[in-house]
A and B are shown apart, each in its own frame.
Chain A
Amino acid sequence: DAKTTQPPSMDCAEGRAANLPCNHSTISGNEYVYWYRQIHSQGPQYIIHGLKNNETNEMASLIITEDRKSSTLILPHATLRDTAVYYCIARGYGGATNKLIFGTGTLLAVQP
Protein backbone atom coordinates (compact mmCIF):
# COMPACT_ATOMS: atom_id res chain seq x y z
CA ASP A 1 0.00 0.00 0.00
CA ALA A 2 1.14 3.53 -0.80
CA LYS A 3 2.71 5.58 1.96
CA THR A 4 0.83 8.68 3.07
CA THR A 5 2.23 11.88 4.57
CA GLN A 6 0.28 14.13 6.94
CA PRO A 7 1.23 17.12 9.08
CA PRO A 8 1.70 16.05 12.70
CA SER A 9 -0.71 18.61 14.11
CA MET A 10 -3.21 21.32 13.21
CA ASP A 11 -5.41 23.78 15.06
CA CYS A 12 -8.89 24.88 14.07
CA ALA A 13 -11.34 27.32 15.62
CA GLU A 14 -14.66 25.90 16.72
CA GLY A 15 -17.36 26.43 14.08
CA ARG A 16 -14.86 26.88 11.27
CA ALA A 17 -14.03 24.36 8.57
CA ALA A 18 -11.11 22.05 9.28
CA ASN A 19 -9.11 21.11 6.19
CA LEU A 20 -6.75 18.20 6.75
CA PRO A 21 -4.24 17.50 3.95
CA CYS A 22 -2.71 14.19 2.95
CA ASN A 23 -0.05 13.41 0.36
CA HIS A 24 -0.04 10.00 -1.33
CA SER A 25 2.15 10.60 -4.36
CA THR A 26 2.88 6.88 -4.94
CA ILE A 27 -0.75 5.77 -4.85
CA SER A 28 -1.63 3.15 -7.44
CA GLY A 29 -4.75 2.84 -9.52
CA ASN A 30 -6.45 0.23 -7.34
CA GLU A 31 -5.84 2.00 -4.04
CA TYR A 32 -8.59 3.88 -2.28
CA VAL A 33 -7.99 6.75 0.13
CA TYR A 34 -9.50 6.15 3.57
CA TRP A 35 -9.84 8.50 6.51
CA TYR A 36 -10.24 7.38 10.10
CA ARG A 37 -10.06 9.31 13.35
CA GLN A 38 -9.20 8.27 16.87
CA ILE A 39 -10.59 10.18 19.79
CA HIS A 40 -8.64 9.74 23.00
CA SER A 41 -9.13 6.34 24.64
CA GLN A 42 -11.37 5.04 21.86
CA GLY A 43 -10.86 2.78 18.87
CA PRO A 44 -10.46 4.39 15.44
CA GLN A 45 -13.66 5.50 13.73
CA TYR A 46 -14.23 5.29 10.00
CA ILE A 47 -15.00 8.67 8.41
CA ILE A 48 -15.02 8.41 4.64
CA HIS A 49 -13.23 6.87 1.65
CA GLY A 50 -12.89 7.50 -2.08
CA LEU A 51 -11.11 6.44 -5.24
CA LYS A 52 -11.01 9.44 -7.55
CA ASN A 53 -14.28 11.30 -7.23
CA ASN A 54 -15.00 13.70 -4.41
CA GLU A 55 -17.14 12.16 -1.71
CA THR A 56 -19.42 13.59 0.97
CA ASN A 57 -21.27 12.01 3.86
CA GLU A 58 -22.81 13.19 7.10
CA MET A 59 -19.43 13.49 8.76
CA ALA A 60 -17.13 15.04 6.20
CA SER A 61 -16.15 15.68 2.60
CA LEU A 62 -13.19 14.16 0.80
CA ILE A 63 -11.55 16.06 -2.02
CA ILE A 64 -9.09 14.06 -4.16
CA THR A 65 -6.90 15.84 -6.69
CA GLU A 66 -7.23 14.84 -10.32
CA ASP A 67 -3.81 13.15 -10.34
CA ARG A 68 -4.79 11.38 -7.06
CA LYS A 69 -1.48 12.31 -5.46
CA SER A 70 -3.09 14.19 -2.61
CA SER A 71 -6.40 14.63 -0.85
CA THR A 72 -8.08 16.84 1.74
CA LEU A 73 -10.55 15.86 4.41
CA ILE A 74 -12.96 18.66 5.22
CA LEU A 75 -14.95 18.90 8.43
CA PRO A 76 -17.33 21.73 7.51
CA HIS A 77 -18.11 23.04 11.01
CA ALA A 78 -15.61 21.71 13.52
CA THR A 79 -16.72 21.19 17.11
CA LEU A 80 -14.70 20.48 20.23
CA ARG A 81 -15.72 16.81 19.90
CA ASP A 82 -13.83 16.66 16.61
CA THR A 83 -10.52 16.95 18.47
CA ALA A 84 -8.78 13.68 17.56
CA VAL A 85 -5.96 12.10 15.60
CA TYR A 86 -6.93 11.83 11.93
CA TYR A 87 -5.41 9.07 9.81
CA CYS A 88 -5.20 9.08 6.03
CA ILE A 89 -4.60 5.61 4.58
CA ALA A 90 -4.17 4.30 1.05
CA ARG A 91 -5.63 0.84 0.86
CA GLY A 92 -5.42 -1.54 -2.07
CA TYR A 93 -7.58 -4.47 -2.96
CA GLY A 94 -6.66 -8.01 -3.70
CA GLY A 95 -3.90 -9.94 -2.01
CA ALA A 96 -4.21 -11.83 1.22
CA THR A 97 -5.07 -9.16 3.69
CA ASN A 98 -6.60 -5.88 2.67
CA LYS A 99 -5.32 -4.68 6.02
CA LEU A 100 -5.07 -1.02 6.95
CA ILE A 101 -1.61 0.34 7.67
CA PHE A 102 -1.88 3.29 10.03
CA GLY A 103 0.71 6.05 10.00
CA THR A 104 1.14 8.70 12.68
CA GLY A 105 -1.78 10.86 11.54
CA THR A 106 -2.63 14.50 12.25
CA LEU A 107 -3.63 15.63 15.71
CA LEU A 108 -6.44 18.13 15.15
CA ALA A 109 -7.07 20.40 18.09
CA VAL A 110 -10.34 22.33 17.86
CA GLN A 111 -10.09 25.48 19.91
CA PRO A 112 -13.07 27.19 21.59
Chain B
Amino acid sequence: GAGVSQSPSNKVTEKGKDVELRCDPISGHTALYWYRQRLGQGLEFLIYFQGNSAPDKSGLPSDRFSAERTGESVSTLTIQRTQQEDSAVYLCASSPQMSVRFGSPLHFGNGTRLTVT
Protein backbone atom coordinates (compact mmCIF):
# COMPACT_ATOMS: atom_id res chain seq x y z
CA GLY B 1 0.00 0.00 0.00
CA ALA B 2 0.95 3.67 -0.19
CA GLY B 3 3.40 4.92 2.37
CA VAL B 4 4.00 8.39 3.75
CA SER B 5 4.45 10.83 0.90
CA GLN B 6 6.33 14.12 1.18
CA SER B 7 6.61 16.92 -1.33
CA PRO B 8 8.63 18.41 -2.75
CA SER B 9 11.49 15.95 -2.45
CA ASN B 10 13.96 18.80 -2.90
CA LYS B 11 13.56 22.53 -2.35
CA VAL B 12 16.11 25.27 -2.90
CA THR B 13 15.17 28.70 -1.64
CA GLU B 14 16.79 32.03 -1.02
CA LYS B 15 17.42 33.29 2.48
CA GLY B 16 14.46 35.26 3.73
CA LYS B 17 11.84 33.48 1.65
CA ASP B 18 8.99 31.42 3.11
CA VAL B 19 8.63 27.71 2.31
CA GLU B 20 5.87 25.15 2.76
CA LEU B 21 6.58 21.45 3.07
CA ARG B 22 3.78 18.93 2.64
CA CYS B 23 3.18 15.54 4.21
CA ASP B 24 0.55 13.01 3.17
CA PRO B 25 0.37 10.36 5.88
CA ILE B 26 -0.82 6.80 5.51
CA SER B 27 -4.62 6.77 5.29
CA GLY B 28 -6.23 6.26 8.68
CA HIS B 29 -3.15 7.13 10.71
CA THR B 30 -4.20 9.52 13.45
CA ALA B 31 -0.74 10.49 14.69
CA LEU B 32 1.64 12.56 12.61
CA TYR B 33 5.18 13.71 13.45
CA TRP B 34 7.66 16.12 11.92
CA TYR B 35 11.42 15.70 12.41
CA ARG B 36 14.44 17.58 11.11
CA GLN B 37 17.79 16.02 10.21
CA ARG B 38 20.76 18.23 9.51
CA LEU B 39 23.59 16.85 7.39
CA GLY B 40 25.44 14.13 9.29
CA GLN B 41 23.28 14.58 12.37
CA GLY B 42 20.54 12.66 14.12
CA LEU B 43 16.80 13.27 13.96
CA GLU B 44 15.39 16.23 15.92
CA PHE B 45 11.73 16.08 16.91
CA LEU B 46 9.76 19.16 15.86
CA ILE B 47 6.03 18.64 16.42
CA TYR B 48 3.40 15.95 16.96
CA PHE B 49 -0.23 15.90 15.85
CA GLN B 50 -2.97 13.70 17.22
CA GLY B 51 -5.80 14.20 14.77
CA ASN B 52 -5.76 17.89 13.87
CA SER B 53 -4.46 19.01 17.26
CA ALA B 54 -0.81 19.48 18.18
CA PRO B 55 -0.36 18.56 21.85
CA ASP B 56 3.42 18.72 21.56
CA LYS B 57 5.13 21.56 19.72
CA SER B 58 8.16 21.51 21.96
CA GLY B 59 10.66 20.86 19.19
CA LEU B 60 9.84 23.83 16.97
CA PRO B 61 13.09 25.84 17.04
CA SER B 62 11.61 29.32 16.69
CA ASP B 63 8.42 31.20 15.94
CA ARG B 64 9.39 31.14 12.27
CA PHE B 65 8.32 27.51 12.25
CA SER B 66 4.67 26.48 12.26
CA ALA B 67 2.64 23.48 11.20
CA GLU B 68 -0.96 22.58 10.67
CA ARG B 69 -2.94 19.50 9.89
CA THR B 70 -6.38 19.33 8.34
CA GLY B 71 -8.95 16.59 7.91
CA GLU B 72 -6.81 14.35 10.11
CA SER B 73 -4.77 13.89 6.98
CA VAL B 74 -2.42 16.25 5.17
CA SER B 75 0.03 18.33 7.18
CA THR B 76 2.01 21.38 6.13
CA LEU B 77 5.19 22.60 7.81
CA THR B 78 5.83 26.28 7.11
CA ILE B 79 9.14 28.03 7.65
CA GLN B 80 9.02 31.81 7.38
CA ARG B 81 12.00 34.03 6.56
CA THR B 82 14.26 31.05 5.99
CA GLN B 83 17.82 31.13 7.27
CA GLN B 84 20.81 29.11 6.14
CA GLU B 85 20.73 27.09 9.38
CA ASP B 86 17.28 25.83 8.33
CA SER B 87 18.95 23.74 5.62
CA ALA B 88 18.18 20.12 6.45
CA VAL B 89 16.04 17.14 5.51
CA TYR B 90 12.57 17.48 6.98
CA LEU B 91 10.98 14.11 7.69
CA CYS B 92 7.34 13.30 8.33
CA ALA B 93 6.07 10.16 10.00
CA SER B 94 2.64 8.78 10.80
CA SER B 95 1.30 6.02 13.00
CA PRO B 96 -2.09 4.53 13.75
CA GLN B 97 -4.02 5.02 16.95
CA MET B 98 -1.71 4.21 19.82
CA SER B 99 -1.83 0.59 20.79
CA VAL B 100 0.24 -0.62 23.68
CA ARG B 101 0.14 -4.17 22.45
CA PHE B 102 1.03 -3.45 18.85
CA GLY B 103 3.33 -0.56 19.55
CA SER B 104 2.13 1.65 16.73
CA PRO B 105 5.53 2.07 15.04
CA LEU B 106 6.15 5.23 13.10
CA HIS B 107 6.22 5.04 9.32
CA PHE B 108 8.50 7.65 7.79
CA GLY B 109 8.52 9.34 4.43
CA ASN B 110 11.78 9.98 2.59
CA GLY B 111 11.76 13.63 3.51
CA THR B 112 12.12 17.00 1.85
CA ARG B 113 15.68 18.21 1.42
CA LEU B 114 15.65 21.97 2.01
CA THR B 115 18.60 24.07 0.94
CA VAL B 116 18.64 27.76 1.86
CA THR B 117 21.12 29.77 -0.20
Contact = CB atoms under 8 A, between A and B. Distances in A.
Contacts of B56: 96-97, 99
B42 A104 contact: yes
Contact of A43 (B42, B91, B100, B103): B91
Chain A CB count within 10 A is highest, among B98, B108, B110, for B108
A62 to B, nearest CB: 12
Which one of B31, B105, B110, B111 has the highest number of Cβ atoms from chain A below 10 Å of its Cβ? B105
A68 interface: no
Nearest to A32: B103
Nearest to A97: B56
A49 B105 contact: yes
Interface residues of B, number: 23
A44 to B, nearest CB: 5
Interface in B65-117: 91, 93, 98, 100, 103-111
A26 interface: no
A42 B98 contact: no
B55 interface: yes
Contact of B110 (A32, A42, A96, A102): A42
B42 A46 contact: no
Interface of A: 32, 34, 36, 41-46, 49, 93, 96-105
